[in-house]
Copies of this chain bind each other. A is one copy, B any other.
């Protein structure tokens, strides 16, 4: 068995149906006429059109995208680069993105990082197959982004530090982090831990900065964020360590919901009651947050909307409907549930 990544030598893709030439011959016309008849891009006698359409139907002809793209000078496809495809957050964003892109007549090519090291090269290669792309999170170097833009590829950044010349779609962090911190203060907690550190200059840094500032304003000094993997398992392990300390914090703010779910598991394991012995909060409002018991207090991000906005923005850049970069911030919402403390709660 030869290496699977190798190029297949000579499979002239004619498996993929007839060409426009065969249609033309069958209809007794020239390829130009076939093209015109099919795209309605010029005058064609009704009788001729009939002949062409008949030939097309008989031969099951579908124009080759490759040929079309080459001649048209466009791919009719967008790319999206993910830091990681796992977890509900990314999936939801992707959903919103695909839906809009597809409505705009563009295919969506995805590229997930998943621990790959050659991501920069892969992004360049991806850029060659699309009319523009969305970069999600801090996985692609600023330099590479700048290079893409310089080369004329429209780029929309998603939940990431801005880059000159690129659109940015992000959700609001500072205000909600403040609201969340104030809510915890309102519960009377003075000993608050922050779980999960930024992987780069992504959203998390902003959230913690705002939360810490807010806590400080109320005379509460939060210790530096505890590093841990942004998964349920990561939260479980970090939670165990945290809750076994001599002085267990009163409240744990987690960088995302998956972490928070892990902490809930850790608390349960150690026989602690949430929220009686410990308050826990998340971020994102993934599906499991609502169904966990206690239900998670968290900050809802408009995940679908993030993706949808990115798709729309990218389309504007590609079509030239807009030529200057724009940065938009989507509102988030504090969702108070049971995990942060006992009081009249409203589960959504």
How far, in whole Å, are A73 and B315 apart by their CA atoms in the complex? 29
Residues of chain B with a CB closer than 8 A to A12's CB: 73
Q: How many chain A residues touch the partner (CB < 8 A)?
A: 75
Q: Mark A84-96, 1 if CB is under 8 A from B, else 0.
A: 0110101110110
The A81-118 residues at the B interface (CB cut-off 8 A) are 85-86, 88, 90-92, 94-95, 98-99, 102, 104-105, 107-112, 114, 116
Residues of chain B with a CB closer than 8 A to A293's CB: 291-293
Could you tell me if B72 and A321 are in contact, using CB atoms closer than 8 angstroms?
no
Which single residue of chain B is at the shortest CB-CB distance from A103? B5
Could you tell me if A72 and B7 are in contact, using CB atoms closer than 8 angstroms?
yes
Could you tell me if A102 and B107 are in contact, using CB atoms closer than 8 angstroms?
no
A47 within 8 A of B: no
How far, in whole Å, are A86 and B286 apart by their CA atoms in the complex? 12
A153 within 8 A of B: yes
Q: Mark A284-300, 1 if CB is under 8 A from B, else 0.
A: 00111001110000000
Residues of chain B with a CB closer than 8 A to A2's CB: 319
A161 within 8 A of B: no
Residues of chain B with a CB closer than 8 A to A265's CB: 291
Closest CB of chain B to A77's CB: distance in Å?
Answer: 7
Could you tell me if B77 and A129 are in contact, using CB atoms closer than 8 angstroms?
yes
Q: A153-B16, A288-B288, A291-B261 are in contact. Are A126 and B104 (CB under 8 A)?
A: no
A13 within 8 A of B: yes
Q: A8-B319, A66-B69 are in contact. Are A129 and B153 (CB under 8 A)?
A: no
Choose one: B5, B147, B264; the contact of A60 (CB below 8 Å): B147
Residues of chain B with a CB closer than 8 A to A315's CB: 4
Choose one: B95, B232, B292; the contact of A292 (CB below 8 Å): B292
A28 within 8 A of B: no
Q: How many copies does the complex hold?
A: 2
How far, in whole Å, are A66 and B319 apart by their CA atoms in the complex? 20
Could you tell me if A107 and B127 are in contact, using CB atoms closer than 8 angstroms?
no
A74 within 8 A of B: yes
Which single residue of chain B is at the shortest CB-CB distance from A261? B291
Q: A70-B67, A91-B85 are in contact. Are A111 and B107 (CB under 8 A)?
A: yes
How far, in whole Å, are A75 and B321 apart by their CA atoms in the complex? 30
A64 within 8 A of B: yes
A sample of 29 inter-chain contacts (CB < 8 A) reads A1-B321, A2-B319, A4-B319, A7-B72, A8-B73, A8-B74, A11-B73, A16-B127, A16-B128, A16-B153, A17-B152, A60-B147, A64-B128, A66-B129, A70-B70, A77-B109, A85-B91, A85-B95, A85-B99, A86-B92, A91-B91, A95-B114, A107-B109, A107-B129, A108-B111, A288-B291, A288-B292, A291-B293, A292-B292
Enumerate chain A interface residues (CB-CB to B < 8 A). Answer: 1-2, 4-5, 7-8, 10-13, 15-17, 60, 62-67, 69-70, 72-75, 77, 85-86, 88, 90-92, 94-95, 98-99, 102, 104-105, 107-112, 114, 116, 122, 124-129, 147, 151-153, 232, 258, 261, 264-265, 286-288, 291-293, 315, 318-321
